[in-house]
Amino acid sequence: MAKILITGANGYIGKRIISVLLEHGHDLVCCVRDKSRFFLPPSIISKLKIIEVDLLNLEDYNSFPEDIEYAYFLVHSMSNGISDFYDLEKKLADNFILWAERIGLKQVVYLSGLKNDFISSLHLDSRHNVEQIFIDSKVPYTILRAGIVVGSGSASFEIIRDLVEKLPIMVAPKWIDTQTQPIGIRNVIQYLSNVLGVKGALNQIYDIGGKEVMTYKEMLFQYAEIRNLKRKIISLPVLTPRLSSYWLYFVTSTNYALAVNLVNSMTVPVVCRDQRIREITAPELLTYKESIKLAFSRVEQNIVTSSWKDSFNMNVSHHFVNDHLQIPTEGCFKNYQEVSLKSKEVPMVINKVWQIGGQKGWFYADFLWRVRGIIDKFLGGIGLRRGRTNKKDIFPGDALDFWRVILADKKEGRLLLYAEMKLPGEAWLEFSIKKRGDKFYFTQTATYRPLGVFGRFYWYVLTPFHFFIFKGMIQNIVDEVRKEKKPPSSRRFLKT
């Protein structure tokens, strides 16, 4: 049993590897930026030591235990900006190595990107720059280079899903014919865990990939085949990287910064140049179709462990949730709605509220919500396409369409959302159950704090829409509950 530090433990890869390392009997220390956003089953959380740190701050490293033996460096910041992530990732790696050399770390395992010796992108250059920092250090390293990672909740899976499910005919950029070697998330985790503590893997760089080399077009067609969808793809060389970025941004759930970085990387052919990793560990590789089917099985079973959409930007304060927990009262506009409930209706209403967003929608005027999402996309926002990670559960920090979950207390019956769409101000949407005397009330409060004169103008222009939308939302939630619990009419059972 070894003592292992996992940086980026709240990320897509980090959350996936935790349970595997626990099964191997290791003692884990998880490094996160905000403990309030770190959610795993209680049976797993109870076995972890969780440390809240900012890896850009050298002083925070003093909180790490001195007896750490191994570490996973799983921190990336590609979605934080179009170019500034390069300097961020360099500083993160420099700080980490200073700490690792001081304590005498036995091995650091880093997940990087596949390399092309002739052409590259800023994203791939950043990953390889971090590699060089590790290589030049005194810390033993194992670097695994992967291309497209396919799994439930991964950025690549969600983007492919958006494209194929929504577009019967795709007019695609020329990079759609670029070759890559996708790998299933299960195989990535197997490789990452199996190289830990292996002497033959120290100070080595390995390429890891799935069974097949294929183009992005082939990936889209194979996904469509699995979903029994007929799709036509037309490749146009006139679509520049900038236009391609906008195309990906408007069609899929990705933000613009991530779209730019993804497109720049997708123009670079990346395949495994050797299979030396198979001499160290040789798990049974999944085909691309098998990875897609496995991803869908987890989606359908509602057991998606992690999603790229739930991560905050490095530019967002790690106290973001706490900062917005207290809704301001001064200088705000509010829309307050209330419906009285019977005591037996309370838990059913709470369950109904916990289904909001994503495929379920917003209970009233979904068309207008979609229009607002489209407008948000055109303004450079995130739109509605992020959906939700889990169909039944909501946790603080989760992305919920163009909202961020600030508080989700099912026991108290309170859900608080903070708006992440483009607004001339700030907005909160709160659902709660209140008890006054012997009576229960379901309340819904939309709070808006305007920024300047235009912010106030925005509210006044949309006030008529707000009145009908918010009133319709709360009433439809209650009506659905009452309709579901109402017994079927006895007339259906009368003999004629």
d(C-alpha 262, C-alpha 334), whole Å: 40
d(C-alpha 283, C-alpha 183), whole Å: 12
- Using DSSP bridges, classify how beta strands 48-52 and 27-32 pair: parallel, antiparallel or unpaired: parallel
The residue whose two tokens read 């925070």 is 60
Query: Within 10 Å of residue 357's Cβ, how many Cβ atoms?
Result: 23
pLDDT at position 279, please? 92
Q: Which helix (H) or strand (E) holds 217?
A: helix 216-226
Strands (E), 53-97: 70-73
- Using DSSP bridges, classify how beta strands 169-173 and 232-236 pair: parallel, antiparallel or unpaired: parallel
Number of H helices, E strands in the chain: 14, 19
d(C-alpha 143, C-alpha 383), whole Å: 36
The residue whose two tokens read 């490749």 is 235
pLDDT at position 276, please? 94
Q: At what angle do helices 122-135 and 85-103 cross, to 10 degrees?
A: 20
pLDDT at position 385, please? 66
Task: Determine contact, residues 382/420, Cβ cutoff 8 Å.
Answer: yes
Q: Which residue pairs from 416-423 have beta carbons closer than 8 angstroms and sit at least 24 positions apart in sequence?
A: 416/325, 416/327, 418/324, 420/381, 420/382, 421/372, 421/373, 421/376, 421/381, 421/382, 421/383, 422/376, 422/379, 422/380, 422/381, 423/448, 423/455, 423/458
User: pLDDT below 50 — which residues of the chain?
Assistant: 79-82, 300-309, 312-322, 489-496
Please give the structure tokens belonging to residue 128: 């390889």
pLDDT at position 68, please? 95
pTM over 0.95: no
Helix, strand, coil percentages, rounded to 5, for the chain: 40, 20, 35
- Using DSSP bridges, classify how beta strands 399-400 and 403-409 pair: parallel, antiparallel or unpaired: antiparallel
Please give the structure tokens belonging to residue 325: 């927990």
pLDDT at position 454, please? 87
pLDDT at position 296, please? 75
SS3 annotation, 375-442 = HHHHCCCCCCCCCCCCCCCCCCCCEECCEEEEEEECCCCEEEEEECCCCCEEEEEEEEEEEECCEEEE
pLDDT at position 432, please? 95
pLDDT at position 490, please? 40
- For 75, the 3-state DSSP assignment is coil
pLDDT at position 142, please? 97
d(C-alpha 173, C-alpha 244), whole Å: 6
d(C-alpha 286, C-alpha 294), whole Å: 10
